[in-house]
């Protein structure tokens, strides 16, 4: 018989507890900052990402899954990220009340070389604040994420890198200097960077080629080209983060993938992740909303958390999916006569919110106990003919082995009181 395997770069989650716990913990945290959940489609127009991310980004250049919806045009794609979709939805719905603070989570698709922490279908938790012109919002968003990783998840050894890309004029001035630098050193650049040098200059900083990276250590950096207003804003961001107790390092070569990024950009990185060291990234994208056809621009901010990478870190630091699980109660009818009673009892426990299962078809008490042990039951509820006659159950604490008798009508409240 043919054996089928999952598609390269995808994963089966055969236990969703840690995944759900991770997503729910982030949701609960960001809701307190006024973010509301939305959901946008996985299918989008290919053109949306070409427009928003830019042709020279790795994602658009080589990682998109595109296909046609009947006419061979590759006009449809599986979304590779969420910011473009959220911005599209904002403009399409004509939302006028800002700030619009929203979050969403779900699968993203990129045709990359699969390795630890890098998949072709992966999950992001995405946060966007649209219509937030002040850089104090940059501070608030970064502090929110820092508290999440540091205090809520208690992650050790993660670090925050930030950079400030300034205003359009600053980036234009920097670009002139950078192009000059690349022209002089063109011999030492990889093929892609030679292309990038003229088509999308800032992207050279994204290059993972070690030779390019060494060369770029001496390249002009954008924070040396900030005008006075930008310099003051950059200072406010740094002071604000200090005041909020957020530690960070300035990485002057951090530019991020999106063409629209302006002012603050950041990444949270961890040594636990090897080469794929960034598990959360984001920044400010002023001008993007206007470019999608909105009459007015809404300066905005966003961040994406890579769920799989966050889970790798949580697992390496000893997160136990089981600890977030409710205890299991097993009802053990001793013979066929008690099976209906067992089902009815199970329903009353479930109605009270207790996790309950009934075991049938085990012919001896010993087997039932072995089974209860194996599935990690907290309590075994034994119902034999004596219990049936007296309206009681024998409740066995599986950890201590102690038995007590409890009235059937009091069983749910008794278990809840433990
Ligand atoms: P990288 O530099 O690792 O390729 P990126 O800059 O492409 O990351 P973003 O587009 O900023 O990543 O996405 C935000 C987050 O999504 C990343 O920090 C990472 O945690 C996660 N992520 C990105 N690509 C993948 C992938 N292929 N598999 C798993 N997680 C990913
Ligand atoms: Mg990438």
Q: Per-residue pLDDT tens for 153-190?
A: 999 889 999 999 999 999 999 999 999 999 999 999 99
Length of the chain: 418
Pocket-testing residue among 112, 309, 310, ligand 1, by greatest number of atoms within 8 A of Cβ: 309
Distance CA 201, CA 341 (A): 73
The minimum-distance atom of ligand 1 relative to the CA of 309 is 20
Mean pLDDT, rounded, for 72-77: 87
From the CA of 53, the nearest ligand is 1
Q: Give Cβ neighbours of residue 399 (< 8 Å, ≥ 6 apart).
A: 378
pLDDT value at position 73? 81
From the CA of 255, the nearest ligand is 1
| Chain mean pLDDT for the chain | 93
If asked whether residues 333 and 293 sit together in one domain, one would say no
pLDDT at 1 over 80: no
Last residue of a domain, one of 316, 336, 366: 316
If asked whether residues 305 and 337 sit together in one domain, one would say no
Q: In terms of residue numbers, what domain contains 59? A: 17-166+226-316
CA-nearest residue, atom 5 of ligand 1: 257
* Å from CA of 214 to ligand 1 middle: 23
Q: What pLDDT digit, counting tens, does each position of 247-274 carry?
A: 999 999 998 867 678 999 999 999 877 7
* Å from CA of 161 to ligand 2 middle: 17
| CB of 232 closer than 8 Å to CB of 282 | no
pLDDT at 332 over 70: yes
If asked whether residues 347 and 410 sit together in one domain, one would say yes
Please report whether residue 92 resides in a domain: yes
If asked whether residues 155 and 237 sit together in one domain, one would say yes
pLDDT at 354 over 80: yes
If asked whether residues 362 and 343 sit together in one domain, one would say yes
* Å from CA of 206 to ligand 2 middle: 9
If asked whether residues 257 and 402 sit together in one domain, one would say no
If asked whether residues 304 and 155 sit together in one domain, one would say yes
Last residue of a domain, one of 316, 340, 360: 316
Number of domains comprising the chain: 2
* Å from CA of 278 to ligand 1 middle: 7
Taking CB atoms and a 6 Å cutoff, what residues make up the pocket around ligand 1?
Answer: 81, 110, 112, 117-119, 122, 124, 257, 276, 278-281, 304, 306, 308-309
* Å from CA of 316 to ligand 2 middle: 23
* Å from CA of 62 to ligand 2 middle: 10
Q: At 22, list the tokens.
A: 């991770």
Q: What pLDDT digit, counting tens, does each position of 216-257 carry?
A: 999 999 999 999 999 999 999 999 999 999 999 999 999 886
pLDDT value at position 322? 61
From the CA of 111, the nearest ligand is 1
If asked whether residues 143 and 237 sit together in one domain, one would say yes
CA distances from 407 to 211, 360, 368, 380 (A): 75, 22, 22, 15
If asked whether residues 152 and 29 sit together in one domain, one would say yes
CATH label of the domain that carries residue 290: 3.30.930.10
Q: Give Cβ neighbours of residue 409 (< 8 Å, ≥ 6 apart).
A: 391
Backbone angles phi, psi at 318, to 5 degrees: 90, 20
CATH label of the domain that carries residue 375: 3.40.50.800
Mean pLDDT, rounded, for 120-149: 97
If asked whether residues 279 and 383 sit together in one domain, one would say no
């Amino acid at each position: 018989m043919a054996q089928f395997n999952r598609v390269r770069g995808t994963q089966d989650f055969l236990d969703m507890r840690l995944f759900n716990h991770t997503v729910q913990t982030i949701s609960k945290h960001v809701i307190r900052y006024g973010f509301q959940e939305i959901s946008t489609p996985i299918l989008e127009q290919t053109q949306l990402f070409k427009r928003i991310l830019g042709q020279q980004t790795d994602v658009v250049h080589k990682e998109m899954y595109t296909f046609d919806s009947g006419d061979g045009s590759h006009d449809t794609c599986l979304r590779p990220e969420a910011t473009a979709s959220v911005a599209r939805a904002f403009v399409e719905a004509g939302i006028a009340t800002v700030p619009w603070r929203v979050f969403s989570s779900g699968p993203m698709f990129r045709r990359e070389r699969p390795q630890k922490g890098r998949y072709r279908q992966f999950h992001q938790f995405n946060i966007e604040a649209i219509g937030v012109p002040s850089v104090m919002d940059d501070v608030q968003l970064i502090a929110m994420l820092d508290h999440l990783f540091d205090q809520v998840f208690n992650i050790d050894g993660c670090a925050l890198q930030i950079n400030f890309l300034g205003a359009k004029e600053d980036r234009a001035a920097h670009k002139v200097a950078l192009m000059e630098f690349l022209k002089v050193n063109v011999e030492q650049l990889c093929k892609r960077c030679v292309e990038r040098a003229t088509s999308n200059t800032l992207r050279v900083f994204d290059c993972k080629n070690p030779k390019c990276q060494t060369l770029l250590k001496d390249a002009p950096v954008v924070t040396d080209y900030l005008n006075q207003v930008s310099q003051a804003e950059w200072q406010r961001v740094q002071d604000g983060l200090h005041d909020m107790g957020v530690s960070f390092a300035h990485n002057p070569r951090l530019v991020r993938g999106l063409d629209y990024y302006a002012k603050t950009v950041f990444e949270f990185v961890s040594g636990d992740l090897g080469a794929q060291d960034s598990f959360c990234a984001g920044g400010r994208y002023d001008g993007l909303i206007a470019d999608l056809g909105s009459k007015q621009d809404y300066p905005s901010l966003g961040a994406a958390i890579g769920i799989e990478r966050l889970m790798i870190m949580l697992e390496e630091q000893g997160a136990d999916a089981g600890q977030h699980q409710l205890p299991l109660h097993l009802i053990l009818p001793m013979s066929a006569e008690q099976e209906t009673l067992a089902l009815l009892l199970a329903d009353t426990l479930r109605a009270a919110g207790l996790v309950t299962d009934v075991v049938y078809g085990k012919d001896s008490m010993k087997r039932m106990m072995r089974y209860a042990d194996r599935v990690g039951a907290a309590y075994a509820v034994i119902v034999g003919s004596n219990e049936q006659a007296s309206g009681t159950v024998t409740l066995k604490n599986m950890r201590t082995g102690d038995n007590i008798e409890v009235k059937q009508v009091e069983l749910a409240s008794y278990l809840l009181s433990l």
